A and B are shown apart, each in its own frame.
Chain A
Amino acid sequence: MHEFLTAGIIGISLGAQYALLALGFTLIFGILGVINFAHGGFYALGGYVAYAAVSQAGLPFPLAVLVAVVATAALGALYERFLIERLVDDHLATMMLTLGLYLVISTSLLAVFGPQSPEFSFPVKGTLRAGTLYLPLENLVVLAVCAAAIGGLWLLIYRTDFGRALRALADDRRVAMTQGMRPGLLFPLAFGLATGLAGLTGALVTPILALSPSAGDPVLVTSFLTVILGGLGSIAGAVVAALIVGFVEAYASVYLGGSTGALILFVTVLVILLARPTGLFGREIRGA
């Protein structure tokens, strides 16, 4: 029973992080139809920017997180505006552009910061305990920020003109453009919003876990799994799927062990992808 509850708490913590990552990933796909291979790169970059802001510039941690968000969002928006934008309708080209960017980002981080994990720790320490159950405070902070970010994003997409414009572009670009939506402005903003979310996750989570130039590799895989499960392009699906992935990972690892847990997750996703390519909750947003 104790393990069961502990695994549940871990599952929620994992799910919240995955949701933040998957939201950005699914947003880019839903609106631009682009698979962002560089998503993990922005996560790692967010972590390193925050680290540099704390250790080099001496900024307080919350401000460092903000710097990381702005930096990753700006890089994402610029990359979209000047490179991806030109080929946005060619899915192969955009995959190559983002894959190339990922390789460049991780190599640059390696060149600048070296291969070893730097000392970068979360400023909030301590652990809440109730009997044998425990919840590290740092996880609680991350959970709160994730919830706030998800809520904010939801408001942005469903309650603002900006969000309506984005959704219109995602539904049918041609119709949206005849109604005066400007992809030239909205696409970079959407891309920047998504990469900023990845940067935020990186800045928040890497001090709890570990920061290394290749920290983005597993992030990409998890984002893939989550959005396949939730349906590519579906925002609600991404959140629910992220929680499912978090719980499956936690329970499978606790009860079945590392490799088996991972294998179950991959096979589940494979089956869903084959049986229901639109995901558990997805609607066919794009013809891909």
Chain B
Amino acid sequence: MEARSPSRWGAQEWAAVAIFAAALAVPWATDDLLVHSIVNRVLIGAMAALSVFIMLRMDLLSFATPAFMALGGYAAVLLAMNGVTEVLLIVPASFLVPALVALPLGALVLRLRGVYFVLVTFVLTEILQLVLFMTPRLTGGADGLAGFPAPTLLGTELSDARSVLALAAAMALLAAAVTAALTAHFRQHFAAIEENEVLAESLGLVVWRYKAMGFVVAAGIAGMAGFSLGNMLLTVHPTSFGAQQAVDTIVYAIVGGRGSILGPVAGAALLVTASDFLGNQGQYAPGLFGLLLILVTLVARGGIAGAVAALARRRRAPRVAAAPAAAPGAARGGA
């Protein structure tokens, strides 16, 4: 069935897009600032986690998400500071700048596989921090950039709490749609790469092309997340784009479930809310994340989304064992 229309969206893709479409209504459904704040951070976390998710589809674990977030965030803010506040321009810019950087970078780093790729992305995030510190004229250095004009949509200023959240939801919706389109369209290619890259290549799949595509889109989505974060905080600051954030986004994607596009969404929703509820015991959040990471790796490889899907499957069709795995790759090793 899927072989005939490889780019067809499955139920999960539609569900993910529907969730973000529904998030668009939140600013009008409630005025509760706490809800606004949590939903806004969930949206940003989910976008960043989607970027990690795309890379994981190709069996690549990336610690470079914050670096691309920074590129997108700083690019958009610098545009706004130079008079370009139109959302229809700066949102695409926040996608394109990191994507354009990712293109040549991808040519270099995508030759690396497995742990080597992990290490290089880790180093990239560290390098970005240093570059930010050392370019105070352009990026504000250690102070970051603050006090930029609010974005506008066709001349209307989007500065109140409601439109900030609506913009975040719209960007997350866009990110989810792009992710869904990409992962659905290249489902088999990515699966082949994830399964066995060498084999895929020998069978004639031009692996680097699909990997480059994935890497560039993942970078762009991270960039939009970076702008969304900057728009929420009204500042872009080096502390928002460090190794800690890389770990957080990876935890969102893995705990949520890397087998389904719903995974990063579920992971971000659960963990952002959970760390908010920790309140004044915030120092224990990393420990909680760590425990969940160990737990999910050991007992629920598909993460939350995988577990829910498995549960639903079992309830729906207890006899059909050969249903296509909802969490491909989650059940299998990759080294």
Contacts and interface: CB of A to CB of B under 8 A. Distances in A.
A and B touch in their complex, CB below 8 angstroms? yes
A40 B7 CA distance: 44
Contacts of B298: 83, 86-87, 97
Interface in B273-317: 283-284, 286-287, 289-294, 296-298, 301
A92 B53 CA distance: 13
B290 A99 contact: yes
B167 interface: no
A249 to B, nearest CB: 14
Given A96-B254, A232-B116, A270-B124, A90 B289 contact: no
A101 B290 contact: yes
A96 B333 CA distance: 13
A102 B290 contact: yes
Interface in A259-288: 259-260, 262-263, 266-267, 269-270, 273-274, 277, 287-288
Contacts of B296: 96
Contacts of B287: 103-104, 106-108, 111
A97 B297 contact: yes
Contacts of A92: 56, 59, 61, 334
A224 interface: yes
Nearest to A261: B130
B294 A100 contact: yes
A221 interface: yes
Contacts of A107: 283-284, 286-287, 290
Given A95-B61, A96-B254, A269 B123 contact: yes
B138 interface: no
Interface in A239-266: 259-260, 262-263, 266
A101 B247 CA distance: 13
A95 B250 CA distance: 11
Nearest to A275: B108
B325 interface: no
B290 A273 contact: no
A91 B127 contact: no
Interface residues of A, number: 45
Interface string A225-240: 1001000100000000
Contacts of B292: 100
Nearest to A270: B123
A174 to B, nearest CB: 14
A104 B291 contact: yes
A110 interface: yes
Contact of A103 (B116, B119, B127, B289): B289
A35 interface: yes
Is the contact region of chain B dominated by helix, strand, or loop, or is it mixed?
Answer: helix
Contacts of B290: 99-104, 107
Contact of B119 (A86, A99, A273): A273
B133 interface: yes
B118 interface: yes
Interface string B85-119: 00000000000000000000000110111111011
A232 B123 CA distance: 15
A224 B134 contact: no
Residue from B115, B120, B122 with most neighbouring chain A CB atoms (10 Å): B115
A89 B298 CA distance: 13
A224 B333 contact: no
B118 A35 contact: yes
Contacts of B112: 273-274, 277
Contacts of A217: 243
A266 B286 contact: no
Contacts of A95: 61, 115, 118
Interface string A54-92: 000000000000000000000000000001001101111
B195 interface: no
Contacts of B297: 87, 93, 96-97, 100
Contacts of A221: 122, 126
Contacts of B127: 263, 266-267, 270
Interface in A89-145: 89-93, 95-97, 99-104, 106-108, 110-111, 115
Residue from B109, B130, B297 with most neighbouring chain A CB atoms (10 Å): B297
B127 to A, nearest CB: 5
A191 interface: no
B33 to A, nearest CB: 29
A286 to B, nearest CB: 8
Residue from A93, A101, A224 with most neighbouring chain B CB atoms (10 Å): A93
A81 B326 CA distance: 30
Nearest to B126: A266
Contact of B335 (A91, A225, A267, A277): A91
Identify the 7 closest CB pairs spanning chains A and B, nearest first: A103-B290, A107-B287, A90-B333, A100-B293, A288-B114, A100-B294, A104-B290
Interface of B: 56, 59, 61, 108-109, 111-116, 118-120, 122-124, 126-127, 130-131, 133-134, 243, 247, 250, 254, 283-284, 286-287, 289-294, 296-298, 301, 332-335
28 contacts: A29-B115, A35-B118, A90-B335, A91-B335, A93-B301, A95-B115, A97-B298, A100-B289, A103-B247, A103-B291, A103-B293, A107-B283, A108-B287, A115-B283, A224-B119, A224-B122, A232-B115, A262-B130, A263-B130, A266-B130, A270-B123, A270-B124, A274-B108, A274-B109, A274-B112, A277-B116, A288-B115, A288-B116
Interface of A: 29, 33, 35, 83, 86-87, 89-93, 95-97, 99-104, 106-108, 110-111, 115, 217, 221, 224-225, 228, 232, 259-260, 262-263, 266-267, 269-270, 273-274, 277, 287-288
